[in-house]
Amino acid sequence: MGSWRVERLDQLPTALLATIMTKLDISSICSLAVTCRAFNSCASHILSFLPNFHILDISPSMELIKPLLPPNSHLQSLKLDCGQLNDSSIELLLRPSLQELCFHNCADFSGKLLSEIGSRCKDVRSLYLGSVAEKRGRAIHISDLEELLGGCTQLEELNLMFDLSLFLRHNFARVWALASKMLTSLEIGYISSVMVTELLSPNVGPHQYPNQIRPSILPAIQKLSLAVDYITDTMVGTISKGLTLLTHLELRDAPLIEPRVTFDLTNSGLQQINQHGRLKHLSLVRSQEFLSTYFKRVNDLGILLMADKCANMESICLGGFCRVTDTGFKTILHSCSSLYKLKVCHGSQLTDLVFHDIAATSLSLTHVSFRWCNLLTNHAIKSLVRNTRLKVLDLRGCKNLGDEALPAIGSLCELKMLQLDNSDISDVGIAYLRHGIISSLVSLSVRGCKKLTDKCISVLFDGSSKLELQELDLSNLPNLSDNGVLALAKSRVPISELRMRQCPLIGDTSIMALASMQADDDRGHGSSLRLLDLYNCGGITQLSFRWLKKPYFPRLRWLGVTGSVNRDIVDALARNRPFLHVACHGEELGTDPWNNIDSSYMHDYEELDELEQWLQEGEWESDDEEMEDAEDDADVVVE
């Protein structure tokens, strides 16, 4: 913002400035605050009556967040990454006026956070708590959960994203009897299937005569999402029978050992789904996280029995159904005329025949995912794209897909997300996307497509008109080199997430090119990247870390590097950029686009990140010197 513009805005009435600034998010308000004294004063004032305060892309400390959260009786929505906060910040954060609370990464809090929310935030309607008490030395007691459920009588949406199986089973159902009767949505990070069954079973209630049945717990629940140890017939039946208003059911398990028949899902369990006929969205997934295991007791008959009751389904996700063949999947496509989202993972018997007569269906699909369905070929995709309004197409792990499928995919003018990981496509085939969907795509992943080279970058992006692409995954491409990244930087595509892990030919030149990348004329110089994954890139040395510190990559929030890098340099970088999440152990960065909780906080930044500048003004010089000292002391090459 030019000085003459600031001077003119400086002359506007304070009330008008405040009205304008209240329409902005917190980071944008902080950006304005550093431009002139009038804006700074106005920003400090409006923080006392803003209704919403959302900062999820950085993890502020208590010292940094305190001046941003003055007394504010109008605050209704608070969303924070609490990675650097603990119980000492509870009094600052919790206000009686709050109706929406979303706290991520609460590992350093104890169960006191739950009990204090119950006593201080009695009007809260939506609550999300992630990773509570996961840090060693922190604990949650059943009494904390009791105070939360008993105190928050207006709760409509509850997300407890941590392990609830730690609570004693004999008290668990009794405590949930206190839950708000207005609760319509419940998500739990982990719970045992036995606890779910006992919670929802219509057993004899306390202080009742033997012939009296306990009234239904959670009578208003419409959406239920659970991660459990085992998805079982008993649990599915209890849920389907007890929750009469259920419209969304999402169940995911990750067995540690092969399930016995009494602790598994069978055709009988599938037959019990949707007993009340209201279900619109169903997800049943067996994860391969700990063990390569599947729903071996479900076959086509189970799917046929389920489909008979699911004609009004709009979204179905099935993962790990290894005995279901084309007959079963075809039944879903032809029975559910309102189906717009279909997701199949590890469909080992899914073949092209499923789509042979797809024209006989309603052709209403907009979101399709066939992950690790190895029998699918190009012919299947040619039939599938008759659903011309497809917006999401996820074909990760379909190894038999090649260049012949790309002309059909390229014809999908509304496609926003395309994932072709580990397919057999080449530079020649990728050219079919150049004059078609590339202008509409927001996310593209070609991870593990071994035939791709630097040429695929120039084919896709050279001379392109304005693109919407924000996420690009080029990981595990053995033939991608610095030349490809240079071509990407020259294209000036405003990418916010770039993944290049496991690329042996990527080196320091790529980092320098990205650091100086100009996204577009309106936003000035500086890379637009918010996420950069360089894990196990073969040519990265300590020189790259000079370009990863301030003021380069001003918007960067996530960085992945190899675990064997020089520890001193990494630590110095973390101190230089306290709001940068540095991952060194190969973990995936960011969030899954399919399950993005809240993208409303994503915004455009100026060339320098004024949020950091406003919170930490004056700390750059000492941090830079520390980085330089660490680089001087380094005597090993960063791998």
Report DSSP state, residue 588.
P
The residues of the chain scoring below 50 in pLDDT are: 1-6, 204-209, 522, 524-525, 592-610, 612, 614, 616-623, 634-639
pLDDT, position 7: 53
pLDDT, position 336: 94
CA–CA separation, 131 vs 164, rounded Å? 11
Q: Give tens-digit pLDDT for 280-324.
A: 999 999 998 899 999 999 999 999 999 988 889 999 999 999 999
Domain closes at, from 164, 182, 200: 182
What is the radius of gyration, based on Cα positions, of the chain?
26
CA–CA separation, 218 vs 625, rounded Å? 57
- CA distances to 364, 390, 434 from 414, rounded to whole Å, are 13, 6, 14
Residue 399 CB neighbours (<10 A): 16
Residue 467 lies in a domain: yes
pLDDT, position 434: 84
| Cross-strand pairs, 217 | none
Tokens 């085939």 correspond to what residue?
A: 429
3-state secondary structure 227-261: EECCCCHHHHHHHHHHCCCCCEEEEEECCCCCCCH
pLDDT, position 377: 97
Instruction: Give the global pTM.
Output: 0.88
**Which CATH number goes with the domain that contains 457?**
3.80.10.10
Sequential DSSP letters for 481-538? BHHHHHHHHHHT---SEEE-TT-TB-BHHHHHHHHT-B-BTTTBSB---SEEE-TT-T
CA–CA separation, 224 vs 255, rounded Å? 20
Residues 625-629: contacts with CB within 8 Å, 24+ apart?
626/572, 626/575, 626/576, 627/545, 627/546, 627/549, 627/569, 627/572, 627/573, 627/576, 629/572
439 is written with which tokens? 């202008």
pLDDT, position 596: 37
| Cross-strand pairs, 54 | 79
| Cross-strand pairs, 331 | none
Domain closes at, from 129, 154, 182: 182
Domain closes at, from 158, 182, 206: 182
Q: Are residues 298 and 265 in contact, defined by beta-carbon separation less than 8 angstroms? A: yes
pLDDT, position 625: 53
CA–CA separation, 430 vs 413, rounded Å? 16
pLDDT, position 316: 98
User: Of 396, 298, 429, 428, nearest to 592 (Cα)?
Assistant: 396
Tokens 């106005």 correspond to what residue?
A: 42
Residue 570 lies in a domain: yes
Tokens 């730690």 correspond to what residue?
A: 166
Residue-number span of the structural domain to which 87 is assigned: 49-182
Residue 503 lies in a domain: yes
pLDDT, position 620: 40
pLDDT, position 212: 52
Residue 79 lies in a domain: yes
pLDDT, position 591: 56
pLDDT, position 636: 36
CB within 8 Å of 317: residues ≥ 6 apart: 250, 282, 283, 284, 285, 341, 342, 343, 344, 345, 369
Residue 192 lies in a domain: no
Q: Where in 333-476 does DSSP place strands (E)? A: 341-345, 367-371, 392-394, 417-419, 443-445, 471-473
Residue 276 lies in a domain: no
Residue 156 lies in a domain: yes
Q: Are residues 213 and 187 in contact, defined by beta-carbon separation less than 8 angstroms? A: no
Residue 170 lies in a domain: yes
Q: Are residues 98 and 124 in contact, defined by beta-carbon separation less than 8 angstroms? A: yes
Per the structure, the count of domains in the chain is 2
300 is written with which tokens? 């086509």
**Which CATH number goes with the domain that contains 108?**
3.80.10
